[in-house]
Amino acid sequence: MLSTLARVRRRYARPDPEALALVAQARRERPTRAERALEALLNEVNGHALEGRFRREWVCGERWLVDFYFPEVRLAIEVDGGYHRSTFQLGWDLFKTASLEAAGLTVLRLTNQEVLGDRARLVAKLRQAWRKARANAPAARRPMRPPPAARTRASAR
């Protein structure tokens, strides 16, 4: 078993981008029950309660993996199971959330119980986070334009 200091050193080390991409791919292939339920709900309410595409197990920055990410409004959704109740993991989650918010993302943390419980309450919480993210990312409302060179090539066709 690693000592706490060794775990902290390992956690704070800059991760290898290729390794992070492999971890994200593996997590996409084996979601938890709560992640599957939230993904189904997001697909169902997309276009009604929420707008835009979301990504599963998305790498944000060069360090963080988030469970769900809406790039248009920079909303990250994390689903926290029982593992996240330990003192060490709670501290790490606070650090991760603060880092993501400092980078301009809005972070919504949900427990497994919230995801698997009352659906109406969950949709309301998602809508509230969506509105907050949209207000915090005003440039995200404007559609992304391709670089000028790509626009001239496309219009020449």
Phi/psi for 126 (5° steps) reads: -65, -45
What pLDDT score was predicted for residue 39? 92
Angle at which helix 33-45 crosses helix 119-136, to 10 degrees, equals: 70
Q: How far apart are CA 157 and CA 147, in angstroms?
A: 16
- As a CATH number, domain 32-137 is 3.40.960.10
Secondary structure (3-state) at 58: strand
Domain boundaries, the chain: 32-137
Q: Supply the Cα-derived Rg of the chain in whole angstroms.
A: 18
- How far is residue 142 from each of residues 18, 72, 112, 127, 145, measured CA to CA in Å? 31, 9, 33, 20, 9
pLDDT confidence tier of residue 154, bands split at 50, 70 and 90: very low
pLDDT confidence tier of residue 4, bands split at 50, 70 and 90: low
- pTM value is 0.73
Q: Which residues pair with 56 in a beta bridge?
A: 68
What pLDDT score was predicted for residue 5? 56
